[in-house]
Structures are given as C-alpha cells and as structure tokens.
Amino acid sequence: MRSLKEKIAAAVYKGIERIAPSAAVPENEIVTYLAYPPDGKMGDIALPCFRFAKALRMAPPAIAAALADGFCCEGVASVETAGGYLNFRIDRGALLERLYGQISSQDKPYGSSDIGAGKTVVLDYSSPNVAKPFHIGHLGTTVIGHSLKKMHEFAGYKCIGVNHLGDWGTQFGKLIVAYRKWGSKQAVEEKGIDELVALYVRFHEEAEKEPSLNDEARAAFTALEHGDPEMTELWRWFIDISIKEYKKTYKQLDIEFDYYTGESFYTDKMPAVVEELKEKNLLSIDDGASIVDLEAYGMPPCLILKRDGSTLYPTRDIAAAIYRKKTFDFDKCIYVTSAGQSLHFAQWFKVLELMGRDWYNRLVHVPYGTVSLNGEKLATRTGNVVLLKDLFAEAIEKAAAIMAEKNPELAGREDVAESVGIGAVVFYYLSANRMRDINFVLEDALNFDGNTGPYAQYTYARTCQILKKAGEFKPGPYDLNDDEFELCKTIALFPETFDQALAEYEPSIITRYVLDLCAAFNRFYHNCPVLTAENESVKAQRLALTECTNKVLSSALELICVRHPEKI
Ligand code: ARG
C-alpha cells in the first residue's frame, strides 16, 4: 500500500465487513470517497458515510458511529464522528517516520509503482515533418510526450519512444526539384532546415509562374517511390540534415528516441493492409479513391488510397500500429498530437477495430490545445511561425541576464542558464491542463517570483544547499508543529498525485503539485529555522522534512522534464 488513504480504506472495509458482512461495497471504491478537508480543524482525512447508506441500509450517522467504534489503523492517531462523517486525525510523527523511511532508503523512488511491470508502452510523439520548421506548435507533443514516457517508466513500464517523422509525401518531389534547380550543398549543410524551407517556399513561388514545375515534382516523387537511387540519396540526406537539427533541440530537453522510424518506414508494410481491408470487404471506391466508410459511426470516411493509388497518412498509421503491435507487443500505444488530429485518430482506430484487431482499444490518442505567443495565433501558412530553437535561445538569454544580476558569482552559469531558461518554458507549458489553449508569454514563464519553473528550481536548489551544509543527521523521535505537518502532508500526497496524473495522461497535475510542494516548503522554511533550530532533535526532524522535499521535488521535476541544478 502506497498511501495512508489506502490504509484507511482497507481498515474501513474491514469495519464494513464487521457491521454488515453481506453488504456489497467494493473495496477499491472506498479510497475514492476519502477526502482531505480544506480546513484541518475537523480532521486530516474525512469519510462521508452517506456513500454506504444504500448498501448498508443504515443512516449515515449510525454508520459513522459503528465504524468509529473500535477503529484501528496504523498511522491514524484518532477518529471522531461528526454527523454522517468520520474524521481521521493523522499521527503526525508516525507519518513523517514512515515517509522518511521510504524516501531516504534508496531502493525505489518514493511514489513510483510497479503497475506497469512486464508491460511495454510505445509512445509516438514529437514527430515533426522533415524539412519543415520545427516551431513552437511542436512544443506540446514533444514535452507532453516525453513527460508521459517518464511517467510510464516511473510506473514500471518498459517504454519505447518513437519519432514518427513526416518523411514521405509529394512535398519531397518538390524539394528535390527545388534543390536541383536552385540549391547548393554548402548552403543546406550550413543552414540546415532553414535552407530546406527556403527552397520549398521558392518552389511554390516559381510554380505559380511556371505550373509545369508541379509535373516535374510529381515525376520526381514517383521516381523516389520507385527507388531511384539518386532521388533516394537526396531524400535521405534531407532527412539526415533535419534529424541532426532536431537532435540539438532534443538534447536541450534531455530527450532521446529509441527509433526515428518515420512514415516512409511503413511503405513496404502498406500493401498487406490494403489487401486485408479488401479481403474483409471494408474498402469502397469513392470518386476513384479507396475509403473505409464510417458513416455508421458518425464519422467521415477514412481515406486509404488516393485516385492514383498512392497511400495516405491514415494508411501509414494503420500499417505502423500493426507493425508495432507485432514487434513490441505493446500494452498501450500512445500518440501525442494537437487536438486538430483527434478525428484522424478516431477514424483509423475504428478501422482497426473493424479489421478485427481486438487490441484497437490499446491505442490511446492524447490531444492537446493550441499555443499562441504573446496573444498572437501562430500559423505556418501566413509565415507567422516561431521556431522552437529561437524560443529556447531567447529564454536562455533572458535567464542568463536575470542570473547575472541575482547571482554574479555562480560557477558554471552558462549551463545553469540553459537549465533555467528551458526549464521555464517547459514548466510554463506543462502548468495548464493540456486541452487548454495556451498563450505563451516568456516574461511570465521566467518570473522568478511567480509560480514558475525558476521558482521551483530555486526551491529545489535551496533544499540542496541546506542538506549540504547540514551533513549527517539522525531524526526521531518526531513531534511536528502545524507548518511541519502541512509540509509532511503535502509530501505524502505525491504517490496518489502521480497515479492520477498517469491515469489522466496529464503532466500538469504533477506541475501543479510541484508548486504546492514548493509553497508548503517555503512556508515551513520561513517559519521554522532548519540549521539554526532550537535543539538537535528539532533540527534533525526539519532536515528529514527538507530531505523528503528534496527527493520528491527531484522526482517530480524529472517527470515533467525540467532540469534541476543544485545551485542557481
Ligand atoms: N507528423 C505529424 C504532424 O506533424 C504528426 C505525426 C503524429 N503521429 C502519428 N502516428 N500520426 O502533424
């Protein structure tokens, strides 16, 4: 059992068995009824007994009284009834003793679990389109995706990160033609994606005047599809140039992918899909194109083949899912994209269901909202794009300027500025519920006094410095005042907070928890001197709380991909 709530729930279940042996109350539901009252006066944890009134055929106050009678649970100091409520008081010292025991022993990070043991999760995220700008619209899939990967690892799953690059399609015919006409090897090597984008833009400008260029591009793509060696070499080079650049951004975020298997990887795996769809009578022809009709499910048709027989985005996704299932035997395959693609995923998930792949319900689409910058919507088409690398560079520069002022003596300031600048962007992004549309304001993200990444990093660094100065200590016996207890309770919330974030695919739950923990720690630190405490026993107890905060903050920041230097 990982939390006190679970222990209390188990004791309540025993109590119910005692009062009404035949009542059908599911044990795992009791824990969801337990609440933390906002005002600790009534108790630290409360159980509304009306929840059991129907099953027990008793009035809530009578249930509360019967459960309180002889109630016994390790970690609970006392229990009182208040009408239909049962209020538990936590044994403060026992709570810290238990937490400190778990957190300071190194065997397994506190809050982690093993619900994923023996199971594999494939995470498909970031997945930019090759030779197109990697802009701040990609921040969501990249950081939410990576955070979900970390979270699944923390829960014991084996995780496989796949970058499903958009590396196939007619745009490569255009790029090849543009490069051959106006490009130079040197420029591409020097300027990377920026140069590829410029070539692509130029292609469209020239094609306005000279429409035959489009035919050339089509021919080039057809040649590429047929494996023309020269075209293939160019195309691979465009991909390599792009990946090299993405990797710079991924390095800043400490992200590594297990596979860069883009859409093209599934080229030879698609004919079998089309064959199977035909065999199962799922394909119909609509204006020359092959589709799967989904009208019965309230969705537009899923496009499988264009009129000219070429495959489409959903076709490749279907082939990829089948390949991944076969190769990794995943328990779940998670896709992180903007909510704009929700229909696409719903459609092809349905197609797999119709194909009789009973694992279709193991596919999870995790959508997220839009992002604007300083109130301005970003759109690739109008050219109003902000590249992720530029946003990061600006954040790092601004962080460095603030730090030069705050802590001019700091050693290794450049590295720390990178951690703070990027940490600020990621933290800010992951602060809001993922479906909310975000307006990015860099100044706000970098506000060292706000509810921001730098504030959390500062708090973490503070705990590191206190522990470093303190040296060894041995806490106990424990006796907690209110501030100490508040902090202790917040620390104790980490496992269930993590469980909830994982269940909802919602990193922001962890981000907000980090802020709560920082607030509780800073209140404690303000009111309770640690290193200059009145005696050794109080000092050791406060150091134990500081160490718990330190370890939990470290795990939590790790889960949301925010670096946390020991000194800022
Ligand atoms: N390349 C796509 C885009 O930029 C995202 C791919 C998401 N993954 C997938 N399996 N469809 O919109």
Which residue's CA is the nearest one to ligand 1's atom 4? 128
Per-residue pLDDT band at 384 (split at 50, 70, 90):
low
- How far does residue 302's CA lie from ligand 1's centre (Å)? 16
Contact 116, 80 (CB under 8 A): no
pLDDT in tens, 86-143: 999 999 999 999 999 999 997 899 999 999 999 999 999 999 999 888 888 899 999 9
CA distance 352 to 282: 11
Torsion, Cα 254 259 264 267, to 10 degrees, reads -160
Structure confidence at residue 185 (pLDDT): 96
pLDDT in tens, 36-47: 998 878 899 999
- How far does residue 256's CA lie from ligand 1's centre (Å)? 18
CA distance 462 to 550: 9
Per-residue pLDDT band at 519 (split at 50, 70, 90):
very high
Structure confidence at residue 385 (pLDDT): 78
CA distance 89 to 45: 7
At 420, which amino acid appears?
V
Contact 217, 174 (CB under 8 A): yes
CA distance 98 to 114: 20
Indicate the domain borders of the chain: 2-90, 401-559
CA distance 161 to 124: 6
Give the three-state DSSP class for 346: helix
Instruction: Name the nearest CA neighbour of 116 among 357, 360, 330.
Output: 330
Residue 281 in this model has a pLDDT that exceeds 90: yes
HEC-encoded secondary structure of 120-180? EEEEECCCCECCCCCECCHHHHHHHHHHHHHHHHHCCCEEEEECCCECCCCHHHHHHHHHH
CA distance 534 to 515: 29
| Average pLDDT of span 459-484 | 96
pLDDT in tens, 298-322: 999 999 999 988 889 999 999 999 9
Half-sphere exposure of 548 (CA within 13 A, CB side): 30
- How far does residue 128's CA lie from ligand 1's centre (Å)? 7
Mutate to test the pocket of ligand 1, among 125, 144, 164, 266 (most ligand atoms within 8 A of CB): 164
Q: Which atom of ligand 1 is nearest to the CA of 132?
A: 4
Residues, the chain, total? 568
CA distance 425 to 413: 18
For 2-90, CATH gives: 3.30.1360.70
Q: Which atom of ligand 1 is nearest to the CA of 344?
A: 11
- Whether this prediction's pTM lies above 0.75 is answered by yes
The widest CA-to-CA distance across the chain, in whole angstroms, is: 88
| Average pLDDT of span 251-269 | 97
Per-residue pLDDT band at 347 (split at 50, 70, 90):
very high
For domain 401-559, give the fold.
Isoleucyl-tRNA Synthetase; Domain 1 (1.10.730)
Per-residue pLDDT band at 382 (split at 50, 70, 90):
low
More confident: 27 or 119: 119
- How far does residue 127's CA lie from ligand 1's centre (Å)? 5
- How far does residue 464's CA lie from ligand 1's centre (Å)? 40
Say if ligand 1 is within 6 A of residue 314 CB: no
Per-residue pLDDT band at 64 (split at 50, 70, 90):
very high
Structure confidence at residue 380 (pLDDT): 57
| Average pLDDT of span 491-508 | 97
Say if ligand 1 is within 6 A of residue 349 CB: no
Mean pLDDT across the chain, nearest whole number? Answer: 94
Residue 201 in this model has a pLDDT that exceeds 70: yes
Say if ligand 1 is within 6 A of residue 317 CB: yes
- How far does residue 236's CA lie from ligand 1's centre (Å)? 19
Q: How far apart are the first and last CA of the chain?
A: 37
- How far does residue 337's CA lie from ligand 1's centre (Å)? 7
Q: Can 2-90 and 401-559 be said to share one CATH topology?
A: no
Q: What does R_g of the chain's alpha carbons equal in angstroms?
A: 28
H or E stretch including 60?
Answer: helix 60-68
CA distance 538 to 353: 61
What percent of the chain shows pLDDT beyond 70?
99
Q: Which residue has the tokens 């303190």?
A: 470
| Helices and strands of the chain, counted as H and E runs | 22, 13
Structure confidence at residue 557 (pLDDT): 98
CA distance 333 to 328: 10
Instruction: Supply 160's token pair.
Output: 């496989």
Structure confidence at residue 57 (pLDDT): 92
Residue 381 in this model has a pLDDT that exceeds 60: no
Say if ligand 1 is within 6 A of residue 337 CB: yes
Structure confidence at residue 383 (pLDDT): 59
